[in-house]
Amino acid sequence: MQTARTRPEGFDSSANSIHRSQERFFVSQRQIRRVTATGVMLVALCLSFLAAPVSAQNNIAPVDKAITWVLDQQQPDGGFAGFSGESDPGATIDAIFAMVAAQSIGVNADTETAVNYLESGDVALVYAQTSAGSAAKLALALAATGNDPHDFNSVDPLSIVEVGAGLGMIGLGPYDHAFSILALAATGTPVPQLAINTARDSRLEDGSWSFDGTATSGAGDTNTTAMMVQALVAAGVANELVTDATDYLIASQNDDGGFPYQPGAESDANSTALVIQALIAANEENHADALASAQTALASMQNDSGAFFYMASTPDDNAYATVQAIPALAGVAFPLPVATPVLATPEGTPAG
């Protein structure tokens, strides 16, 4: 997540790029039931039918242009640079989400080298142990790429999420909690009622959630709220938690059709993209016009290079804005559908 107040431009370096958890634990694979990579893929494929692309065919060209720009940023080791300028697992996962979303509408974007970077050395192990939110983000990416989040280079990130789900708030706040619910849903792991109750209890009166759980009036933000909407829908929750949250989001929409991090601020690509995904997930007919307006606003934030800018006041190409815009352009909500790379047509063979 990127905000005008606290986030520098570029990729997010983890599920929580500002805060670092003091939590350091790793759960033995013997203590947690195992799922196979095949089972994970089947679950995610079933979920993909609940996240059908919205006007996706109209966006193939801009998605292709954006993903081409993203792939040009890939480092020699297969990773993508974070705020430090070096390959970073959080930034790489954000890029993987973009690539999987692009694949879902037929745009070729091979995730293999990026996944290989996560699998190299102790990258996955260190990242998974950073916080439950990071573990959830890794597990969600593994599910989306058809890998087993219970066994990835002997790392079991999903077990950290499962343990956290039995304790109340998973990770450092509602943003982590939403990622964690998504990871459980994407892998067919039952979402405990405690996790849903914790989401309810951390909600503000206006229907929003705040990034770190701050409960003061006005602390809620569109990014965390949009992620929570997607998580609740994926978990099968269809009640006032979702409708109140989407009402908050719609009320935050600017006159230009875009969305700010918090009501009254300038529209930005990241917030607009996340809200689009939330509205797609919620699929509420009364918000169709707001969704269409947001999609038009997001499209206008793409530069000639294919990259997206963060805000109109900072119109330079922005890596994190670009990777976060792509799933929204592709019309898919989290958890992302598992998609296979588009195979090139052999030379001399007629297409179709």
β strands within 45-197, DSSP E: 80-81, 87-88
Share of the chain above pLDDT 70, in %: 80
Residue 350 lies in a domain: no
Tokens at 164, concatenated: 């956290």
| CA–CA dist 191, 280 (Å, integer) | 21
Residue 340 lies in a domain: no
Residue 229 lies in a domain: yes
Per-residue pLDDT tens for 149-172? 999 999 999 999 999 999 999 999
**Looking at residue 88, what DSSP letter applies?**
E
Judge contact between 257 and 279, C-beta under 8 A: no
User: In this structure, what CATH number is given to the domain that contains residue 275?
Assistant: 1.50.10.20
Q: What is the pLDDT of residue 55?
A: 56
Residue 338 lies in a domain: no
The distance from CA 185 to its chain's CA centroid, rounded to whole angstroms, is: 14
Judge contact between 27 and 156, C-beta under 8 A: yes
**In terms of pLDDT, which residue wins out, 4 or 102?**
102
pLDDT band with cut points at 50, 70 and 90 for residue 272 = very high
Judge contact between 153 and 119, C-beta under 8 A: yes
Q: What is the pLDDT of residue 351?
A: 39
| 109-131 average pLDDT score | 97
CB atoms within 10 A of CB 171: 28
Residue 19 lies in a domain: no
The most distant pair of C-alpha atoms in the chain lies apart, rounded to whole Å, by 64
pTM of the model: 0.84
Position 39 pLDDT exceeds 80? no
Q: What is the pLDDT of residue 57?
A: 66
pLDDT band with cut points at 50, 70 and 90 for residue 119 = very high
Q: How many domains does the chain have?
A: 1
Residue 342 lies in a domain: no
| CA–CA dist 41, 147 (Å, integer) | 8
Q: What is the pLDDT of residue 152?
A: 97
| CA–CA dist 45, 39 (Å, integer) | 10
Residue 83 structural domain: 33-330
| CA–CA dist 343, 106 (Å, integer) | 10
Q: What is the pLDDT of residue 339?
A: 57
Residue 114 lies in a domain: yes
| CA–CA dist 47, 181 (Å, integer) | 14
Rounded to a whole number of angstroms, the CA Rg of the chain reads 18
Lowest mean pLDDT among 11-25, 268-282, 308-322: 11-25
Residue 348 lies in a domain: no
| CA–CA dist 294, 282 (Å, integer) | 15
Number of H helices, E strands in the chain: 14, 2
SS (HEC) of 185-215: HHCCCCCCHHHHHHHHHCCCCCCCECCCCCC
